[in-house]
A and B are shown apart, each in its own frame.
Chain A
Amino acid sequence: MKRLAWLWLALCLVIAPVAAQPTLEAAAEALREGRAQEALVITNELEQLEHGSFGALYNQGLALRDLGRPARARASFERALVLHPRSLDTRRQLRELHQQMASPGRQPDVRGTPWWTLQEAELLLLVPGVALLGLALAARRRRARLPAHITAVATMSALLLTALIVATMPAERRAVVVEPSAALLAEPKSGDATQKLPAGVMLELLADNDHFVQVRLGNGDTGWLRRAQVAELTLPSRAQSAAASEQL
């Protein structure tokens, strides 16, 4: 009997931490029942435990939005969009948040996430060249000439795709202003405020300096903000680990 009790206790000690682990289903349940704060805690824990994913970021965005923090919600949805650029739901949420935070005189955002991933863009850039090379080799093998219109189509396709991808590719480091009326400083630490930025504006991060980050706005203006005033659009740690292992 005593052994059974000890066994039971040991089992509980093992099961409890596992059962207490945050899960995406728990976050979804909390959101459905209107417990947005709890859902936010769960999604934050998921990220810390390297279980971040598109679903976790999406639920995090929903929780932040329900808590009345649209700027941070935008940051979460933008991060989710990097993982799943063609998610129509995420883009719809971002559109609604943008409308909610719209105000006269608001600074424009920097370029947003395009509809394709980086890998897809790289593939698209290679396709016309590979196709033209293959056709030219086949023509030479037949001792025939490649028709001029095929060469022209391949060249124009390559140029158009390159122009399209370059025109839509955003900056690598972006962030969302999460503090209302964040003062854009001319110089870090002791600069004069050149303008005030409303919460929700997306900008490009250029450089870091201690607790300050240099930013560029959508209209080209640059300045410095405190790091705590922005939420950088980083990938979940699980995605970063996967990317690092792919590079290795």
Chain B
Amino acid sequence: MVRKLWASTALCLLLVLAALAQAPSSQVTARLSSDSIALDETATLTVAFSGFVDSPDVAAPVTRDGGLQFHSSGRRISMSNINGQTSHSVEIDYTITPLRTGRHLIEPVTGTVGGVAFTTTSLRLEVTDIGTGSGGGWQPSTNPYASPWMPSSPSTFPFSMPEPQADDFLIEAVVEPEVVYKHQPVFYNLRLLAAARLASDPRYSPINPTGFLRVMFDQENDSEERNGRYYSVSSVKTAYFPLSEGEYTFEPTQISLMGGLFSAPQVLRTSPKTIRVLPLPSQGRPRSFTGAVGQQFELRARLKSAEITLGSTTELEVTVKGDGHLDLVPYPYLPDWSGIEKKQLSSPSVTSVDNGSIVSRRTYNFRLKPTRVGRLELSDLALAYFDPSQKRYEVHKAPTLVLTVAPNPNGQATTAVGESELPYHERPRLEDGPVTGQLPRPPYLAMAAGAGLLLLGLALSAPGIPRRYAPFPRLSRKRCTSLPELLATVEKLAPGPDSASRRIELQARGWSDEAIVKLEEIKRRAGRAMFGGQQQATDALLEELNRELAALPKESKR
């Protein structure tokens, strides 16, 4: 059984070692571009997956208190082949826009690779008041790109191109308008003009400037005559929404045109484009303005339950639709209604292109908890936005909603809705916990004691320790008064069916041969006398046998 145990343990160890040897060293990390930013700045959260074979599926990062907004701003992929094993490294960037000051905890980001979930650690970002930030959100005048990367979105041109020849291909980028307001889109139109065919599809690396949200339009194909030649034109338009004011330069876009078997690849580049982003005017800015920029917005609001009891909650849904990017609008304006506590829940937005125009929809959800009984009016719910074409602010208000709060039949106490719910390990301790302890050190004394006990146990359990019998059991000092009693005493001394076994028994006890012979003689004489029936000789014999028996303990030790 012990052998089987050893064999199964060895097999398990081998299997574990084999699995470990094959497993790639995979790693998931998250890092921030800056630990502290001002309210009008942005930061970048980079989630990196390295050493995986499959591409990860990443959940959007969130914060517990909803004080930060995250927008996916790019993905970089690189591949490596080491010792025949291919692995991917994927870095996903999220631009963080702060919604309010304070110290915000970014929850661990979970990415799933091959059905297995990997989680990063949580991060902290401090948001200070405007003008006191430590930097990290101001975008430089030139956008620092990494080396061109393979596009992960379907932005490659899916059509075949003619064979590359000189002046057969032209590329141009048009940016309009060149001066915009913050959050107003800039349209970057990349046009590829081709007058010949290519052996394979061109490789296209779209720009991904930091500090912008991006919405891509569908590719459009057209034709154009230029300098007497007809070109097939493919255009890809992208809307870039700047997150903060300043001057930005879009790096040149590069397209690689693969040649035939005997021709080198041709690389076409656009010229860099510079835009200027103006700050939103502060004059005339309503108090309810929360960042929306566009020309058309719609606002609707509704309560999930218009009648509730005190102590329970309901949800307020505010739906906004417009031509601006609603990821830049963290919330619509909600005044501080008396008798109601509110907490904003997650509210994803959907921004797409519809008939050549940008359409953004977002439903903002708020959990409302009334603190008093009665009829509560939710009025002045509004969305203010800046119209760049008119250069003025507009305000849309939702109709007033009415919430009826009935008394709680159980009279339960209410608790505030707005408490921040930190993870347990982030909460300060209110109890002392353990107050005593010892610094760890090698327990030599316990090791020695344990070894000693073990050895003692082994010694006691070891086989082959002979049993030591008493050489001569303690005889009763009482004189035998009859032959049967004497015979019983002799039997007790040497139990055994015959003289041979009795001899072996007595020799094992250390009896001398003479003592054994004498005992057998006593036994024989007593037995003969007992069954012989000579009464007068029995008394004398009994006396003699008693004397000889009493003398035996001395003789047995010789």
Residues on A close to B: CB < 8 A? 24-25, 27-28, 31-32, 34, 39, 51-56, 58-59, 62, 66, 68, 82-84, 87-89, 92-93, 95-96, 99, 113-114, 117-119, 121-123, 125-137, 139-140, 145-146, 148-149, 151-152, 154-155, 158, 162, 165-166, 169-173, 233-236, 238-239, 242-243
Contacts and interface: CB of A to CB of B under 8 A. Distances in A.
B453 A242 contact: no
A135 B453 CA distance: 12
A53 B433 contact: yes
Given A99-B121, A136-B460, A129 B432 contact: no
B332 to A, nearest CB: 28
B16 to A, nearest CB: 16
Given A130-B453, A132-B458, A148-B2, A118 B435 contact: no
Contacts, number: 174
A30 to B, nearest CB: 8
Given A118-B443, A133-B457, A126 B436 contact: no
- State the majority secondary structure of interface residues on A: helix
B533 interface: no
B450 A158 contact: yes
A134 to B, nearest CB: 8
Nearest to A39: B428
A243 B434 CA distance: 13
B439 interface: yes
Interface of B: 1-2, 5, 29, 35, 102-103, 121-122, 424-426, 428-443, 445-447, 449-454, 456-458, 460-461, 463
Contact of B436 (A56, A88, A121, A243): A243
B460 A140 contact: yes
Contacts of A58: 428-429, 433
A106 B550 CA distance: 91
B457 A154 contact: yes
Contacts of A133: 453-454, 456-457, 460
12 contacts: A53-B435, A55-B429, A55-B430, A56-B429, A99-B121, A122-B446, A129-B454, A132-B454, A145-B461, A235-B437, A236-B435, A239-B435
A66 B103 contact: yes
Contacts of A93: 425
Contacts of A236: 435
A148 B428 CA distance: 54
A130 B461 CA distance: 13
Contacts of B454: 128-129, 132-133, 154-155, 158
A20 to B, nearest CB: 19
A62 B427 CA distance: 9
Contacts of B431: 24, 55
Contacts of A170: 440
Q: Which of B428, B432, B443 has the most A CB atoms < 10 Å from its CB?
A: B428
Given A118-B440, A122-B446, A151 B435 contact: no
A162 B458 contact: no
Contacts of B432: 24, 51, 53-56
Chain A CB within 10 Å — which of B429, B438, B449 has the most?
B429
B121 A96 contact: yes
A136 to B, nearest CB: 4
Contacts of B1: 149
Contact of A27 (B2, B425, B428, B460): B428
A243 B436 CA distance: 7
Nearest to B108: A96
Contacts of A83: 433-437
A158 B453 CA distance: 10
List 6 tightest A-B contacts by C-beta distance, closest first: A129-B453, A132-B457, A54-B433, A28-B428, A53-B432, A122-B446
A185 to B, nearest CB: 26
Nearest to A46: B432
Contacts of A89: 424-425
Contacts of A122: 443, 445-446
Contacts of A114: 440
B262 to A, nearest CB: 45
A172 B439 contact: yes
Nearest to B453: A129
Nearest to A139: B461
Given A151-B458, A243-B438, A32 B428 contact: yes
A27 B427 CA distance: 11
A146 B442 contact: no
A53 B434 contact: yes
Given A53-B435, A68-B35, A121-B446, 15 more contacts: A58-B429, A125-B447, A126-B446, A128-B454, A129-B454, A132-B458, A133-B453, A134-B457, A135-B457, A136-B458, A151-B458, A162-B450, A235-B438, A236-B435, A239-B437
